Amino acid sequence: RISRTTLVLIFVLFFCIPALMAMESLKFDSAAYVELLRKLIGENRNLQNNPPLNVPQEDLASQHVLKVLEPYTVEKGGPLMVRRETFVEGRGNVIIEYRCENKDAPYVSFVGSHLDVVPANPDEWDFNPYELIVEGDKLCGRGVTDCLGHVALVTELFKQIGINKPRLNVNVAAVMIANEENSKVEGVGIDELVKRGMIAHLKSGPVFWVDSADKHPCLGTAGMVPWQLKAKGKLFHSGLPHQAINPMEMAMEAVKYMQERFYQDFPPHPEEERYKFITCSSMKPTQWSYPGGGVNQIPAECTICGDMRLTPFYTAQQAKKSLQSYVDELNKDITKLPTRGPSSKYTLPDQGLTGTLELTIMGEAMSGIACSLDSPGNKVLFEATEEVLGECKPYSLTGSLPLVKELQDEGFDIQIIGYGLMKTYHAKNEYGLLSDFSQGFQIMCKIIQKISDKH
């Protein structure tokens, strides 16, 4: 007769321990990671996304991913289902799946690591951005933080899954995407995957968007509305300012008025504190231009460009409507703006001239996201982060991520993670830390295991 203690021991040995060890036993192969990242960075000259000058060919990067994973694919007798989905030649997306025995099991997914990069100007860098430079723990090159370092990380995760074949109660998937750095061109990346229903099955579980930084959970990002304000006045000699309408002075005062109104209408939102936003919504100028002329000429027009950054508790539509109303109010009576000195004016009644303002919203607005703080995905992310790092310090910021809000609106439980460095995002001399990506590997393994244990 088998004692109760023996039965418990058998249960623990054959059921509990293997389940606990399934993902915990996976090891990050730093040498293999660096080798793959070196190949990815070596392609980045042709991954730069700034059309029409730079149209990336993401297949140049994904070919290295596919080669690493090939020995572990179902075609080679392994457990991984790997495919490239292409809508524009040379610009494919990669979908990877590891399915458990239960065909009805939910998914845990790692989505958003992208195969394109922002442009780099080698003349401005202290090292060659088009090759990986390793300095101890420091990995240098365009795309290490955003986002080829994450492409290599997700590849290493699935390679280890393919080797070890952990027994799980959930399916695990990854989607590496094309064309993340350019929202103006559609039908290339994840927007088309969603449109065609190719990743709809991932809604059954949490989706971790792997394109952030600093290792801790990102709870929210901002929407972004780019704007342009053109001020039209009257060109004249600067020695006779009373005969001119100075568009530069008018534009400066107009932007000041618009900013004052914006901060009245879009003040800090109560939810921003709960989500730990670093800053509130903002509206500011970032560029200035004019047609040219002599320093002794008051120009006929000038243009100021900038953006509005909106915490996700305000909508881009609200902000666009408000900004237009500010300009409309000024055009009804431009004299309400303060002038700059006794000779400064925005109307010349004797000549029948009045300065005017033209507002243009440039391109498509980007929506912000507030991740669910109550979802299972959020809870396991917090737990896994604290277990690996010793603490969990979530944050939100008014930088913007494309596509994530649209995915959330489609019904995906989006959580945002990343293991590069925020201070080098889109910056010259971009780099990341090998130790950070190694910890990211551990966190992702724990996420998978914790979700599996709940099913």
Q: Which residues are catalytic?
A: 116, 180
- 100 upstream amide cis, omega within 30 of 0: no
Tokens in use for 209? 């968007």
Q: DSSP assignment of 379-420, as one string?
A: HHHHHHHHHHHS----EE-S---SSHHHHHHTT-EEEEE--B
Q: Which residues contact 243 (CB under 8 A, 6 or more apart)?
A: 234, 236, 237, 348
What is the gyration radius of the CA atoms in the chain, in angstroms? 27
Q: What is the C-alpha to C-alpha distance for residues 33 and 23, in angstroms, rounded to an integer? A: 18
Buried b (16+ CB within 10 A) or exposed e, 213-248: bbbbbbbbbbbbbbbebbbbbbbbeeeebeebbbbb
Q: How many CB atoms lie within 10 A of CB 105?
A: 17
Q: What is the C-alpha to C-alpha distance for residues 123 and 128, in angstroms, rounded to an integer? A: 9
The torsion angles phi and psi of 199, rounded to 5 degrees, stand at -125, 20
DSSP character for 363? S
Residue pair 237/413 in contact by the 8 Å Cβ criterion: no
Residue pair 224/366 in contact by the 8 Å Cβ criterion: yes
Rounded to the nearest 10 degrees, the angle between the axes of helix 30-41 and helix 434-453 is 110
Query: Angle at the Cα of 124 (from 138 to 285), degrees rounded to 5?
Result: 105
